[in-house]
Structure 1
Amino acid sequence: MTQLPKGGGYLLGSTDPKNIFTPEDFNDEHRMIAETLSRFLEERIFPRMEEMDAKQEGLMREFLVEAGELGLLGADIPEEYGGSEIDEIFSTIIAEKLGATGAFAIGHGGHCGIGNLPIVYFGNEDQKSRYLPNIATAEKISAYALTEPGSGSDALSAKTKAVLSPDGKHYILNGDKTFISNAGIADMFIVYAKIDGEKFSAFIVDAHTDGLTTGAEEKKMGLKGSSTRSVFFDNVKVPVENLLYKPGKGHVVAFNILNIGRHKAAANSVGAAKYALDLSATYANERKQFKVPIAQFGMIKEKLAEMATRIYAAESTVYRTGGLLTEMINTLDPSGPDGYKVIAEGIEEYAVECSLEKVFATEMEAFVVDEGVQIHGGYGYIAEYPIERLYRDARIRRIFEGTNEINRIIIPTTLFRRAARGGFPLKDAMKELKVYLNGETVARENPGDVVQAIKDVFLFVMGVSYERYGDEILKQQEILGRLADLAIQAYTTESTWLRTQKTAAANGQNAKLKTNMATAFIYTTVEKTSLAAREIIATLVTGSELVNMQSDLNKLLNYTPIDIISLRQKIAGAISAAGKYVS
């Protein structure tokens, strides 16, 4: 088995740029599927966005069927069940490209992302053969039913109940789900319910079963073309053979599928943000004020540059994670008696990376679409302009697949728990840092050194937090949130810099632009690192101890500021010249 990096391992040592996946590593097949999807979106989806947002009857199903004919629904499904069984990079490319389509991205992801992965990873042979071929063609539309009126982030408090029938042939489901994407067009649901009110479990449920009904379509802020309804179960009979995995193991299915869902949501955000920047750059080149294109104004240059820089960082992070997931999935052998366990543990390995990329990318998207509206001025507020839809559609991504607050809690909590089990050597890392701090420290003189400073600060503050609180640190959400931000900053800056180094070593395209964007991002981010770390330290200690720790932070963050304004001017020039995002 290939030796893969451990989840969270990026914090503990250096990574060879050759060992990460970047968009520059796309092969001919990757590029072909990207081009195929781009044509499909340009010819079929974008021209009919208004009809989709008006929920034209049958349109979403029509588009999904067409996507199936192009092989865009079977990326995660094995060939033997009608899919194409291509790697996670293909799935990431598809998710990114679909990001700009708003409602269609949700219809697609609800159907062949979270809507089929529970069967792909946790279904038995009978379940896979009965359902996956129909999902790959959109003959049957799938939906994922987890959320309830009283349980969103706290999924395990679900009230939907399953009771075995007297003859032992069915589970009888009662309860209701809310905010279920694709509910109005679904032929089947992945439903979570508690057997006997106790054992949280997953089921495949036929949408046309007696007793299953849906509510009215929700009137939403964005994603108006996607179906979102409540689903009600009134003595719904589910054959026992439709239980997924094992009784009481629904959390294993749900949480691991959400990890993959978070990765794809992050890719969606990258695609939507690129489209928003393309629109904004084009508009800024065309719109004149005082007889000058507004793209030439310094304040607009700053916006375009920062939008591009954050997109570049998110894109680098998402494809690095996609590469990790691909390598991990390729090493899994689910054929043995513990196959399900192998899959669950494999996916869970990169739970930290999936959570942090989801937080970063969705918040990047929110920033980019907001600045896009600002660049458009009053026109950005008018529905005729696509940026208005992108602004509304973006808001939900910080909420679904686990709110960003929940994902922020997951990141340090997972690392603390791994450290307690010996899977994350925090104590050893702290010892090494103390040796460094007790020696003669030197200034961090280049972007790579500044990235290392960010990683060192995270480990230092994480260690100090644990020394102060012990296991009680898991109850200190304000500190956990800041630790999450530090972990995010470490991963995103490193991913960005590694990609840039890899491009430079290969004399790749736009190496100078990549270097400028990576450098601007890293030196901007380290200032945020400093603030978060100092806020945590000031909460943990006082007096002379605080003075000493502040001194340690100063040593770790000893770097020389750079001229970021000039860097942004160069970045903006490249974006304006192209009239779109380039990297």
Structure 2
Amino acid sequence: MVKGGEFLIKPVNPSEIFTPEDLSEEHRLVAQTVADFTENTVVPHMEELEEQKEGLMRQLLEQAGELGLLGTDVPEEYGGEGMDKICSILIAENIAAGGSFAVAHGAHTGIGTLPIVFFGNEEQKKRYLPDLASGRKIAAYALTEPGAGSDALSAKTKAVLSEDGRYYILNGTKQFITNAGLADVFVTYAKIDGDKFTAFIVDRDTEGLSLGAEEKKMGIKGSSTRSLIFEDAKVPVENVLGQIGRGHVVAFNILNLGRFKLAAGCVGSAKLAFSHAVKYALERQQFGRPIAHFGLIQEKIGRMAAKIYAAESMVYRTAGLVEKMLAETQDGNVAQALQEYAVECSINKVHASEALDYVADEAVQIFGGYGYTKEYPVEQIYRDSRINRIFEGTNEINRLLIPGTLLRRAQKGELALLAAAQQLAKEIMQPKLSMSNDSDPMKTVQDLVDRSKKIFLQVGGLAVQKYMDKIQEQQEILGMLSDICIETYAMESAVGRAFKAMAEQKAEGIKSLLAQVYVYETFPRVELRAREALSAMLAGDELQTQLSVLKRFARYRPVNLVGIRRQIAQRLLEAGKYTV
């Protein structure tokens, strides 16, 4: 079984990577059901949702519940569907076209419901899960506070045991809580005795609980975002979720899943924006022909498609890893599986949210002035996309978590990063590396992926050696390492998917072209981030020596990316949407 983060130090067999082409008939049926529901039931009400028409969001969530789309991750014994994690990702991707509805759905089914699925006791599961799976009750997740966002453990909300021992009395405020206006159940956090960070299940009708006004937001306007105010709120002691003082275990494991699902939603939104842009480019006439025929528009289409392809490949690869771990462990502990792949969850979140922002921005550009008006859908997609880099831990926090988690596992002996770095040091002493110039372009991009791993080990090894225990204070260096790690996983996922399709003699479509574009456009950024990091850490002869090593790793023969992007654009313009 592949461990979390192990992709950096071990070769990956493409046949072992789960890809969208591996979806079963059941998976495809689920995806189609969700897509149909979104298109036929949600999209016709988009304008009303944006205006927060009273009762509409709840009505739509209840309809989703009737189709089983709220209980995917809830075990059958508690009224759910008990589907695999692939289905969870498919639902998140295909419901994304619902805009604000997708946000409400994701908050309810993910971070709202799953804390009880993963950490609730038997009585709590029986009491809450059947109603949450059916839509009779709606859930929300209340972690953020006015003074505690990314630093969740600095929360000020307090919980004091009542004199009769029957209740915890909560005082404090939670802020920016999705679904607050319609939720019946809140998973929230408070400190018992001032220091024991603990999770609680709080019912809407709890005495002492009130809500603030709706936030007026830039995007996702149809979703409810309000504050929770606890003023001597009486929460029964039996509503403690998990163990007292172990609320961080609940919070952080749930955020892993939230990041993972958010990435899938970003892929769905990016595909939607891309399809709108392609359709418009084919219809919009300028200078006597469709703008889709112009080179700079085709360049945009080629780059957008490559980013979507990489994000889609990494999301389903990660889903396959989680599902495989669940199948190979006796207890099927989802939280444990997500913890194992916490690095990959953060990678997915950062990469997919930034890929969506890129695609949404370019879609608006293809629409020109019309893209800036509410008359066309890309305007809303553009506004809605921006929150994803803030949701589920900002991208900056996730960039710190990635190398931090890797180093922590290496120190515990759970990940052989140190041994790999030592082996690399020996390799550096060998004769000069040859330029990556294989006549087979796919072998070349695979070689560049391997070199990216070496670059990570080179820079990471030097950073650990230089800063030791104080490396956490070097956030810029950690951010650069994180970028190298993220792009390595994305490149390898894209390339591995193409190789797998070729090996299985399936129609590989334009996968190899997309993989080439993504790697050739991304690898120079890996070198740049490494160069920046080395220049920040070293000076003089030591810097020049390491830059020479980096130059050896980074040499490659360029290809005609203009021609490849044109091929991609022409094929996808013919299809009229993103399809590989």
- DSSP-derived class of the 1:113 partner: helix
Structure 1 pair 247/334, CA: closer, same or farther in 2 (3 Å)? farther
**CA distance in structure 1 between the aligned counterparts of 2:378 and 2:535, rounded to whole angstroms:** 41
Task: Tell me how far 1:552 sits from its aligned partner.
Answer: 0.7
Equivalent residue, structure 2, for 1:190: 187
Task: Tell me how far 1:436 sits from its aligned partner.
Answer: 1.9
Contact 1:23 / 1:316 at 8 angstroms: preserved in 2? yes
Per-residue deviation, residues 303-358 of structure 1 (Å, max 9, x unmatched): 011000100000000000111111223344449xxxxxx66543211110000110
AA aligned to 1:317 is M
Match of 2:324 among 317, 327, 332: 327
**CA distance in structure 2 between the aligned counterparts of 1:122 and 1:86, rounded to whole angstroms:** 18
Contact 1:141 / 1:187 at 8 angstroms: preserved in 2? yes
- The yes-or-no answer on 1:157 pairing with 2:154 is yes
Equivalent residue, structure 2, for 1:95: 92
Per-residue deviation, residues 197-224 of structure 1 (Å, max 9, x unmatched): 2100000010111111101111000001
1:251-266 to structure 2, matched below 5 A, reads: 251-266=248-263
Equivalent residue, structure 2, for 1:508: 506
Length-normalised TM-score, structure 2: 0.97
- The yes-or-no answer on 1:457 pairing with 2:455 is yes
AA aligned to 1:212 is L
Task: Tell me how far 1:102 sits from its aligned partner.
Answer: 1.7
Per-residue deviation, residues 103-153 of structure 1 (Å, max 9, x unmatched): 111110111110011001101111101000000111011100000000000
Contact 1:68 / 1:136 at 8 angstroms: preserved in 2? yes
Equivalent residue, structure 2, for 1:132: 129
Equivalent residue, structure 2, for 1:311: 308
**CA distance in structure 2 between the aligned counterparts of 1:343 and 1:310, rounded to whole angstroms:** 29
Per-residue deviation, residues 542-572 of structure 1 (Å, max 9, x unmatched): 1111111111111111221111111101011
**CA distance in structure 2 between the aligned counterparts of 1:5 and 1:81, rounded to whole angstroms:** 31
Per-residue deviation, residues 348-402 of structure 1 (Å, max 9, x unmatched): 1111000011000000000000000000000000011100000000000000100
- The yes-or-no answer on 1:442 pairing with 2:434 is yes
Structure 1 pair 370/156, CA: closer, same or farther in 2 (3 Å)? same
**CA distance in structure 2 between the aligned counterparts of 1:200 and 1:474, rounded to whole angstroms:** 23
- DSSP-derived class of the 1:231 partner: strand
Task: Tell me how far 1:167 sits from its aligned partner.
Answer: 1.2
Equivalent residue, structure 1, for 2:494: 496
Equivalent residue, structure 2, for 1:571: 568
Equivalent residue, structure 1, for 2:286: 289
Aligned length: 573
- The yes-or-no answer on 1:207 pairing with 2:204 is yes
- The yes-or-no answer on 1:5 pairing with 2:6 is no
**CA distance in structure 2 between the aligned counterparts of 1:128 and 1:333, rounded to whole angstroms:** 21
**CA distance in structure 1 between the aligned counterparts of 2:54 and 2:485, rounded to whole angstroms:** 45
**CA distance in structure 1 between the aligned counterparts of 2:47 and 2:230, rounded to whole angstroms:** 33
- DSSP-derived class of the 1:114 partner: helix
Structure 1 pair 305/507, CA: closer, same or farther in 2 (3 Å)? same
- The yes-or-no answer on 1:522 pairing with 2:519 is yes
- DSSP-derived class of the 1:352 partner: helix
- The yes-or-no answer on 1:52 pairing with 2:49 is yes
- The yes-or-no answer on 1:387 pairing with 2:395 is no
- The yes-or-no answer on 1:229 pairing with 2:226 is yes
Equivalent residue, structure 1, for 2:340: 349
Task: Tell me how far 1:424 sits from its aligned partner.
Answer: 2.0
Per-residue deviation, residues 19-65 of structure 1 (Å, max 9, x unmatched): 11100000000000111111111111111100111101111111111
Contact 1:355 / 1:410 at 8 angstroms: preserved in 2? yes
Match of 1:142 among 139, 143, 154: 139
**CA distance in structure 1 between the aligned counterparts of 2:541 and 2:188, rounded to whole angstroms:** 55
Contact 1:373 / 1:388 at 8 angstroms: preserved in 2? yes
- DSSP-derived class of the 2:228 partner: strand
AA aligned to 2:143 is L
For the aligned residue pairs, the C-alpha RMSD in angstroms reads 1.1
**CA distance in structure 2 between the aligned counterparts of 1:497 and 1:474, rounded to whole angstroms:** 32
AA aligned to 1:544 is D
**CA distance in structure 2 between the aligned counterparts of 1:577 and 1:421, rounded to whole angstroms:** 52
Task: Tell me how far 1:236 sits from its aligned partner.
Answer: 1.1
Length-normalised TM-score, structure 1: 0.97
Match of 1:30 among 13, 27, 32: 27
Gaps of 5+ in 2: 439-443
Gaps of 5+ in 1: 336-341
AA aligned to 1:381 is Y
Equivalent residue, structure 2, for 1:17: 14
Equivalent residue, structure 2, for 1:581: 578
Equivalent residue, structure 2, for 1:104: 101
Structure 1 pair 192/334, CA: closer, same or farther in 2 (3 Å)? farther
**CA distance in structure 2 between the aligned counterparts of 1:58 and 1:196, rounded to whole angstroms:** 39
**CA distance in structure 1 between the aligned counterparts of 2:234 and 2:141, rounded to whole angstroms:** 18
Equivalent residue, structure 2, for 1:338: none
Contact 1:150 / 1:158 at 8 angstroms: preserved in 2? yes
- The yes-or-no answer on 1:369 pairing with 2:369 is no
Q: Which stretch of the first structure deviates more once superposed, 235-244 or 282-291?
A: 235-244
